[in-house]
Amino acid sequence: MVLVHPATLKDVFMNQNELERRKWAESHQPRLTTNSQAVEMFGLKTFSGLRAFLDKNGVECYFFTKWTGTIFYDYHQTLAVADVYLLANPHLTRIAPLELESVVVRPKQLPRYNPNRFDIPEYGWTTEQFLDQWSIDNMKSPIKDILKRAPSVYKMKSKDAYSLIRILIDPTDSSYRISGYKLDQMMFVNAIADITSDASSHKKLTEVTLTLYRTTSIGTLDPSHVVRVIYELLSTNKKTR
């Protein structure tokens, strides 16, 4: 017989409750975030002074009888403060699965790449030439989807476009890395500022781009192209594909 420690059962129960709170907070108007979810936005596991810190930075907190003893914060206000915090603490990393989901196109099988057969032109390459470089047939559909949603890919060098799309297909795959010098994060921040005009788009683009910057090797690619492609992917959704 396998015995489960009471503390383990408590953790499972608490995780289920947290999941329910997060789903409820996401559907709330305005959108809210739970305390633990807010901590994750800062790239931390614990943040003992979170409430005071957010209050100092003008973030509103909420309490509801449905969730006794639980603090909720305004999602977008918290995200904006966390963005500034992460810029000042580049060693921290935030994973943003909900936002990245708008960018990532997940295939059933990851592609293999043979540099020796990558012989298409650097610029002016066609969709057909580009697709021929991927060794798995079921990759053709998601790649076409990315090319359709983010036409700025065509302005990139063919090998850079391949590398970017390879990362966007699965940012969590640490086995694929682009060799080269990693550009400063501020170059990507500046590129974001050049593209976005409204606050909402700026926040979302910043979160996704900097998450990818910290967790993948896109920092070796031209930020003006990378940010533009991510922006175009975020600006489209499944309804417009």
Q: What is the pLDDT of residue 180?
A: 84
Half-sphere exposure (Cβ direction) of 142: Cα atoms closer than 13 Å: 21
Instruction: Average the pLDDT over each of 95-99, 126-130, 151-155 and give the range with the smallest value.
Output: 95-99
Q: What percent of the chain has pLDDT over 90?
A: 27
Q: What is the mean pLDDT of the segment spanning 191-199?
A: 87
Q: Give residue-wise pLDDT tens across range 5-48.
A: 334 433 434 466 787 888 888 888 888 999 988 998 888 888 88
Distance CA 103, CA 99 (A): 8
Distance CA 176, CA 172 (A): 9
Q: Residue 212: pLDDT above 60?
A: yes
Say what the pTM is.
0.57
Q: Residue 181: pLDDT above 80?
A: yes
Q: Residue 158: pLDDT above 70?
A: yes
Q: What is the mean pLDDT of the segment spanning 102-116?
A: 55
Q: Which of 132, 139, 187 is nearest to 166 (CA)?
A: 139
Distance CA 176, CA 216 (A): 9
The helix (H) or strand (E) run that includes residue 69 is strand 67-74
Sheet with 67-74, strands from edge to edge, namely 32-34, 67-74, 61-64
Q: What is the pLDDT of residue 200?
A: 80
Q: Residue 239: pLDDT above 50?
A: no
- The residue type of 196 is T
Contact indicator for 60, 28 with CB cutoff of 8 Å = no
Please report where in the chains the tokens 């930020």 appear, as a residue: 223
CA-to-CA separations, 63 to 34, 40, 54, 165, in angstroms, rounded: 11, 20, 15, 42
Q: Give residue-wise pLDDT tens across range 45-73.
A: 888 889 999 999 999 899 998 888 889 99
